[in-house]
């Protein structure tokens, strides 16, 4: 907030903080015309004493930002997620399954690597990655099917991408496997628990 309110002044657009298109005045004024601005949260963070809030705010905003803080916002390209390692892990755990959005390229930072998914499946089923590549007619390769299902669910990979990765010839083949696993999960509690365990391990990794 301080960075935003000081920005016109820092940029040389004004000689003081009372820039015409700034909400700075709303934090100092009691006029009704500023009631539409929600400033309570910021003021309460600065002081619990309401009679001192405006004075503390004014002193706070008149203090230039520290270089290490301002440098973050002056970067040409900000990181997709900014925070401590614990915070980043929390964000990934909460949102990475809903992460992929065509209009937000940076959201792909939350997508688990293919190798991570394959490794967790191999660990759970006690097989090698080469076993996941095998497709024999008339035989059910459950680990391979789960890998295809999770590639679609967790990564949002297209059916064509999945086909290319697993050596399938048709999109419909990958789609059928994904649909089949979806139906199995609804009726097979053991399989559902196994997949949930794999997903959780991927999240925690």
The pLDDT of residue 55:
92
- Taking the CB of residue 57, how many other CB atoms lie within 10 A of it? 22
Looking at 10-19, 35-44, 98-107, 144-153, which range is the least confident one? Answer: 98-107
Q: C-alpha angle with apex 146: 80 to 90, nearest 5 degrees?
A: 30
Q: How confident is the model at residue 102 (pLDDT cuts 50, 70, 90)?
A: very low
Q: Are residues 64 and 119 in the same domain?
A: no
Q: Is the pLDDT of residue 23 over 80?
A: yes
Q: Is the pLDDT of residue 191 over 90?
A: yes
Q: Is 172 among the domain residues?
A: yes
Q: Is the pLDDT of residue 94 over 80?
A: no
The pLDDT of residue 88:
77
What six digits make up the tokens of 151?
A: 């590639």
The pLDDT of residue 97:
53
The pLDDT of residue 144:
92
What six digits make up the tokens of 42?
A: 């910021």
C-beta separation of 89 from 75 below 8 A: no
Q: Is 18 among the domain residues?
A: yes
Q: Is the pLDDT of residue 181 over 90?
A: yes
- At 116, which CATH number? 1.10.1750.10
Q: What is the pLDDT of residues 110-169, one digit of tens each?
A: 678 888 899 999 999 999 988 887 766 656 889 999 999 999 888 888 889 999 989 888
Return contacts of 84-93, CB within 8 angstroms, 24+ apart.
Answer: 92/203, 93/203, 93/204
Q: Is 83 among the domain residues?
A: no
Range of the domain at 41: 2-69
Separation of first and last alpha carbons in the chain: 35
């Amino acid at each position: 907030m301080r960075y935003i309110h000081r920005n016109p002044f820092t940029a040389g657009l004004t000689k003081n903080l009372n820039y015409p298109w700034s909400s700075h005045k709303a934090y100092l004024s009691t006029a009704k015309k500023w009631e539409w601005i929600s400033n309570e949260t910021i003021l309460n963070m600065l002081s619990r004493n309401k009679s001192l809030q405006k004075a503390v705010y004014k002193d706070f905003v008149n203090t230039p930002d520290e270089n290490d803080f301002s440098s973050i916002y002056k970067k040409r390209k900000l990181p997709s997620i900014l925070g401590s390692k614990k915070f980043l892990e929390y964000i990934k755990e909460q949102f990475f399954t809903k992460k992929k959005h065509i209009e937000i390229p940076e959201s792909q930072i939350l997508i688990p690597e293919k190798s991570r998914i394959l490794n967790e499946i191999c660990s759970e089923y006690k097989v090698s990655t080469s076993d996941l590549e095998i497709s024999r007619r008339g035989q059910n390769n459950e680990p391979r099917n789960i890998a295809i299902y999770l590639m679609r669910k967790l990564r949002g990979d297209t059916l064509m991408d999945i086909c290319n990765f697993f050596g399938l010839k048709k999109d419909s083949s990958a789609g059928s496997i994904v649909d089949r696993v979806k139906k199995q999960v609804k009726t097979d509690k053991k399989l559902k628990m196994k997949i949930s365990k794999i997903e959780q391990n991927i999240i925690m990794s």
